Amino acid sequence: MAAGSVRNSREDVIAVALRLLDETGLPDLTMRRLAAALDVQPSALYWHFTDKQTLLAAVSDRIIDRVPSVRPRDDEGWAELALAEARALRDALLSYRDGAELVASALALGLGADAARERLRAALGRGDFDAYIVDAGADAMLQFLLGHVAHEQQRMQADSLGVVASPHAVRAEDASGTVPSQGAAFDFGFTLLLDGLAKHVRSAAGPAGLTASVR
């Protein structure tokens, strides 16, 4: 079942791991199963990667690197661009089972996922911000992004397994009469961050006084 039936490159291992992730989910992506899918002994994987964490970080980076690049129109501001980047990242994470959880844990372990942060930082770079604001803003966006999508994916899986209807979902419907799409909820949360950042643009002073200052 391994592609060319000869020896595997590091790239092959990542590709098969990605396929296995999507087919079986993160908890079942074990070194032994991955080795079996590659028609190889488990120990062979340790020639390519020093340990499982490193392997998973590489898979995580592969997901991020595949995110199509967003080409900003010239008239597009930092906020529109950041939202476009966020949507592209979300789509990529959603396209693999447990994608968000994988990337989130690679990030939490301090490996990989840097490319994602860089894209968000670059988008904010279009605005006139202090460097500190760019850092903190990109960090906040990334944390929200990964956490939200991981939660989305967990609910998708729980629903598909026919678990009890979550009380949270019920409440959301009660409130508005119509249940908003997941994409809309994501956009809304992300836009909260963008609105908050807008206050910190250097050139155009913020809406002084209108918003309660909490510091």
The interface mask with DNA, positions 22-41, x = CB under 7 A, is ------x-xxxx----xxxx
Q: How far is CA 71 from the centre of its chain?
A: 19
The interface mask with DNA, positions 53-92, x = CB under 7 A, is x---------------------------------------
Tell me the C-alpha distance between 134 and 209, whole Å. 23
Q: Which of 3, 156, 158, 170 binds a second copy (CB under 8 A)?
A: 158
What type of residue sits at position 96?
Y
**CB hemisphere CA count around 99 (13 angstroms):** 24
In the complex with a second copy, the residue whose CB is nearer, 49 or 186, is 186
Tell me the C-alpha distance between 156 and 192, whole Å. 24
In the complex with DNA, the residue whose CB is nearer, 61 or 152, is 61
In the complex with a second copy, the residue whose CB is nearer, 22 or 114, is 114
Tell me the C-alpha distance between 131 and 107, whole Å. 21
- Contact (Cβ atoms closer than 8 angstroms) between residue 20 and residue 33: yes
90-149: contacts with a second copy (CB under 8 A): 101, 104, 107-110, 130-132, 135-137, 139-140, 142-144, 146-148
